[in-house]
A and B are shown apart, each in its own frame.
Chain A
């Protein structure tokens, strides 16, 4: 079936099986491999993307379901070559190690800060609690998102 979805503000149409998952649509059809896949059960959150600004697990969304919605992936976080403060925060505060959960974590952080620009640490932990990181122990992820909240207005260095 033909599926048309807007990803990072660009429309894409592909002929895919009705059962195709959004995560595979993004990765295999569009080549956007920054979105990862880590479990079969919606537990790990490495596949999180934003659908109309809200985090969704793209392993639990059919590509066909995404039609008519705006999808934002990690490749769409930086604007015009300028990093999102969340991306900068993850580097500054060592919010990533192997980098596999990072895309999903950053997108959830973006959605959180969009609705709550100055979250408490408890709110940050709650926001990312549907996602697993095996490397960092989460404290530096919390600090990274806090850094982004504290630097929301500052233009990112090139």
Chain B
């Protein structure tokens, strides 16, 4: 370490390479792109949730002196562009032709000289709607008399999207029939929204001579978007360049292809001028990928002594008007079927029905790891309900049922093979950090005084790093990632990766992986990402997959370079490669450690005149594509302490203790930041955030005045710690950390709220646990216990 001051050459705390531009205001986001002659687009959106379009009159808008074009669904229909394929292989309207199916749906696209004029012109478009009844409650969507939302789809006769099961229904029923204790609970994981600080947008530029389309886009998956644009527009893929510049937060919101992007592309091709489209905050909240919206009926079976035997769940999944969820093909409910969580049980079964409603499309977003957020919420709430029923401590119940360290690799009852873990150690560490027994004593004391203190315990297992191509793909695209490493003659290097960053710090972390493998200081390694013209193909940054997949590709491509360097070093040192050994940054002769060559010397020689063995190419460049053999399974134990004001029912989080295990830790500073951010998501989801609708399908969460996100005043100073259980199959043992805390914290917080309300006989409160909901739970509890 000393060779580089206090900056590690490899893993360790390292301030970020991307920070200097941001702290100077020199970041480059999509809305910062300014091109000569650029026009501005704006989307006209439906004011109602369900209606037939009778007519659209854009003549007044076209008269506006600053308007260049108005595009409607009819215009697109004649070119076969009115509908596009979603990433779930459903169809979605780019611009509505027949009906609007949710409030905020895209109806027309205006192109004008500037953003204000484009907005003005939207007011000049006259759309005549014939109102239809809206379906808002997903449980109503399957009623036989429910209005048909997707009458555009041949053969679609109801509002069902899919009907899917996992696990063994018969075996689970048998276990439930014989169990001493069965607890059932209805749980709603409400619709929330990732709401990244930067909204979605694109700048499209089409070179009419070369036929090349360049799209600067707020995307988490630039390569996948390029392929989708090729499918959609018919442009050859090598003539499409997608650039994902600095992206102001993603959280899954920036995975799908949105109609606004497509309209900007079409408008750029049509007008011959670059077109920028940036949505506003209301458009972001009302029309882009929401998260969750799972109505679940859970059940848990156990022995009287507290051995958990089985879990089952029946889910109605609200996917909105179009099925646009990111899901790896074979799993329409994403990874929801890891709902057996961290417990060793005998049987499990889940049944998920996906339905259309007159709401915005989406479902998989907001750091949910393909619906593991919903799965963990279910099982962790059910375990707490069981603890309540049995009258046992929720931490003790978990300790008695967690998968034991000697059971890994562990195959759960729905077929997932957990790679590694020592769950008990992690939970015990969290209990110790929290001083759990003392907290329980304090709680007993303050309860006697009428104070409402709650202690929530949660444990989660994530499944990230999608994924093995034999099991997973999106639209037929295998979920693998590439990496290309070029080592320049002076020993400086450039790493190109297929994932990109929305704040996760890839430019730093991935340089550290190369540094660890090759001994080149991280500051000598540039990480190139987010530009399809200069990076290898891969599926993007979401589902905590960057470190598990691209991180592995990076380690392996560095090892390829190291292997080549060995051959070059052998030629330099006039030794056999077999007689060399690696010490970080240097190949040296075994038994003669003074004799060796540094990676920098080798890099120069590789491009120089050293005579290489026959068949060995010069240079130290290498490329690789990584197909993960399995997912990785990070996990953690969380404890939350809340105080509820008995006068206002407001929940205050006093402490939050998070002990995470993400395997090998590359940069602890960045890991801590990822955990902090996820915990804050959890506070928002558990206590504040909801995209609600009225009975007519009007969105009630369409601005940040209505959709409440935690500020610095709602969250505590986080208490974090860790254990390290490396993944056995990942080249550096790293498991990923991006979404652990968002997945693990909501049930922990709700467990704490329900624990605080135990004196009122309250077993469950649905999220978000707002003062109003908590107050109702308290008063209903009081009424029923009288």
Is B304 interfacial (CB 8 A cutoff)?
no
Given contacts A78-B24, A87-B24, A103-B25, contact A140 B251 (CB under 8 A): no
Is B409 interfacial (CB 8 A cutoff)?
no
Contact A102 B23 (CB under 8 A): yes
Contact B717 A142 (CB under 8 A): yes
Contact B248 A138 (CB under 8 A): no
Per the 8 Å Cβ criterion, residues 77-127 of A in contact with B are 77-78, 83, 87-88, 90-92, 94, 96-103, 106, 121, 124-126
Determine the chain B residues whose CB is within 8 A of the CB of A99 once the complex forms: 18-19, 21-22, 27, 246, 248, 503
Q: Closest Cβ of chain A: how far from B560's Cβ, in Å?
A: 31
Among A44, A121, A142, the residue within 8 A (CB) of B197 is A44
Residue of A nearest to B673 (CB): A94
Among A24, A34, A126, A133, the residue within 8 A (CB) of B713 is A126
Contact A34 B27 (CB under 8 A): yes
Contact A34 B20 (CB under 8 A): no
Contact B677 A134 (CB under 8 A): yes
Contact A128 B712 (CB under 8 A): yes
Count residues of chain B with CB under 8 A from any CB of chain A: 58
Per the 8 Å Cβ criterion, residues 1-31 of B in contact with A are 15-16, 18-29, 31
Contact B26 A34 (CB under 8 A): yes
Determine the chain B residues whose CB is within 8 A of the CB of A101 once the complex forms: 197
Contact A31 B34 (CB under 8 A): yes
A34 to B675, CA, bound (A): 27
Is B128 interfacial (CB 8 A cutoff)?
no
Contact B676 A34 (CB under 8 A): no
Determine the chain A residues whose CB is within 8 A of the CB of B249 once the complex forms: 97-98, 100, 134-135
Per the 8 Å Cβ criterion, residues 571-594 of B in contact with A are none
Residue of B nearest to A38 (CB): B197
Determine the chain A residues whose CB is within 8 A of the CB of B681 once the complex forms: 134
Determine the chain A residues whose CB is within 8 A of the CB of B712 once the complex forms: 124-126, 128-129, 138, 141-142
Residue of A nearest to B21 (CB): A99
Residue of B nearest to A106 (CB): B23
| Among A24, A33, A97: residue with most chain B CB under 10 A | A97
Determine the chain B residues whose CB is within 8 A of the CB of A37 once the complex forms: 31
Is A46 interfacial (CB 8 A cutoff)?
yes
Q: Closest Cβ of chain A: how far from B360's Cβ, in Å?
A: 18
Is A4 interfacial (CB 8 A cutoff)?
no
Determine the chain A residues whose CB is within 8 A of the CB of B655 once the complex forms: none
A78 to B23, CA, bound (A): 9
Q: Closest Cβ of chain B: how far from A141's Cβ, in Å?
A: 7
Residue of B nearest to A101 (CB): B197
Determine the chain A residues whose CB is within 8 A of the CB of B503 once the complex forms: 96-99, 135
Determine the chain A residues whose CB is within 8 A of the CB of B715 once the complex forms: 137-139
Residue of A nearest to B197 (CB): A100
Determine the chain A residues whose CB is within 8 A of the CB of B670 once the complex forms: 94
Contact B23 A39 (CB under 8 A): no
A139 to B198, CA, bound (A): 21
Is A132 interfacial (CB 8 A cutoff)?
yes
Is A74 interfacial (CB 8 A cutoff)?
yes
Q: Closest Cβ of chain B: how far from A88's Cβ, in Å?
A: 8
Is A11 interfacial (CB 8 A cutoff)?
no
A77 to B211, CA, bound (A): 43
**What mask results when residues 674 to 703 of chain B are scored 1 for a CB within 8 Å of chain A, else 0?**
011111110000000000000000000001
**What mask results when residues 41 to 61 of chain A are scored 1 for a CB within 8 Å of chain B, else 0?**
101101000000000000000
Contact B677 A39 (CB under 8 A): no
Is A75 interfacial (CB 8 A cutoff)?
yes
- B contacts with A: majority SS: loop
Residue of A nearest to B114 (CB): A28
Contact B25 A94 (CB under 8 A): no
Determine the chain B residues whose CB is within 8 A of the CB of A78 once the complex forms: 24
Residue of B nearest to A92 (CB): B15
Determine the chain A residues whose CB is within 8 A of the CB of B325 once the complex forms: none
A41 to B709, CA, bound (A): 13
Contact A98 B247 (CB under 8 A): yes
Is B210 interfacial (CB 8 A cutoff)?
no
A44 to B199, CA, bound (A): 12
Q: Closest Cβ of chain B: how far from A27's Cβ, in Å?
A: 8
Among B281, B680, B718, the residue within 8 A (CB) of A38 is B281
Residue of A nearest to B505 (CB): A97
Is B669 interfacial (CB 8 A cutoff)?
yes
Given contacts A32-B25, A34-B25, A100-B197, contact A139 B669 (CB under 8 A): no
Q: Closest Cβ of chain A: how far from B617's Cβ, in Å?
A: 40
Is B401 interfacial (CB 8 A cutoff)?
no
Determine the chain B residues whose CB is within 8 A of the CB of A27 once the complex forms: 31-32
Among B23, B194, B196, B709, the residue within 8 A (CB) of A91 is B23
Per the 8 Å Cβ criterion, residues 661-678 of B in contact with A are 669-670, 672-673, 675-678
Is A150 interfacial (CB 8 A cutoff)?
no
Residue of B nearest to A19 (CB): B116
Residue of A nearest to B15 (CB): A91
Is B705 interfacial (CB 8 A cutoff)?
yes
Is A73 interfacial (CB 8 A cutoff)?
yes
Is A131 interfacial (CB 8 A cutoff)?
yes
Is A5 interfacial (CB 8 A cutoff)?
no
Among A38, A96, A141, the residue within 8 A (CB) of B19 is A96
A77 to B680, CA, bound (A): 28
A45 to B711, CA, bound (A): 11
Is B473 interfacial (CB 8 A cutoff)?
no
Is B740 interfacial (CB 8 A cutoff)?
no
Determine the chain A residues whose CB is within 8 A of the CB of B18 once the complex forms: 99
A120 to B502, CA, bound (A): 31
| Among B16, B32, B503: residue with most chain A CB under 10 A | B503
Residue of A nearest to B716 (CB): A139
Residue of A nearest to B707 (CB): A43
Contact A75 B25 (CB under 8 A): yes
Among A106, A137, A142, the residue within 8 A (CB) of B677 is A137
| Among A32, A78, A103, A134: residue with most chain B CB under 10 A | A134
Is B280 interfacial (CB 8 A cutoff)?
yes
Given contacts A125-B712, A135-B677, contact A41 B703 (CB under 8 A): yes
Given contacts A38-B199, A46-B197, A134-B249, contact A91 B677 (CB under 8 A): no
| Among A32, A74, A88: residue with most chain B CB under 10 A | A74
Determine the chain A residues whose CB is within 8 A of the CB of B116 once the complex forms: 17, 19-20
Is B547 interfacial (CB 8 A cutoff)?
no
Given contacts A34-B27, A98-B196, A134-B709, contact A43 B22 (CB under 8 A): no
| Among B21, B23, B505: residue with most chain A CB under 10 A | B23
Q: Closest Cβ of chain B: how far from A86's Cβ, in Å?
A: 8
Q: Closest Cβ of chain A: how far from B552's Cβ, in Å?
A: 23
Per the 8 Å Cβ criterion, residues 327-352 of B in contact with A are none
A100 to B718, CA, bound (A): 22
Given contacts A32-B25, A94-B670, A135-B677, contact A125 B246 (CB under 8 A): no
Is B504 interfacial (CB 8 A cutoff)?
yes
A39 to B672, CA, bound (A): 28
Contact A91 B16 (CB under 8 A): yes
Per the 8 Å Cβ criterion, residues 232-260 of B in contact with A are 246-249, 251
Contact A100 B248 (CB under 8 A): yes
A61 to B313, CA, bound (A): 51
Contact A39 B676 (CB under 8 A): no
Contact A73 B15 (CB under 8 A): no
A130 to B676, CA, bound (A): 19
Is B644 interfacial (CB 8 A cutoff)?
no
Contact A139 B676 (CB under 8 A): yes
A141 to B710, CA, bound (A): 14
Contact B197 A132 (CB under 8 A): yes
Contact A97 B677 (CB under 8 A): yes
Q: Can you sample 17 A-B contacts with CB below 8 Å?
A: A19-B116, A33-B28, A34-B25, A38-B197, A40-B280, A43-B704, A74-B24, A94-B670, A99-B18, A101-B197, A121-B717, A124-B712, A126-B712, A128-B712, A136-B676, A137-B680, A137-B718
4 nearest A-B residue pairs (beta carbon): A34-B25, A98-B503, A137-B676, A100-B248
- Known pairs A41-B705, A135-B673, A138-B676; list 12 more (Cβ under 8 Å): A19-B116, A34-B25, A34-B27, A38-B198, A94-B15, A96-B22, A96-B503, A98-B196, A100-B198, A121-B717, A125-B713, A137-B679
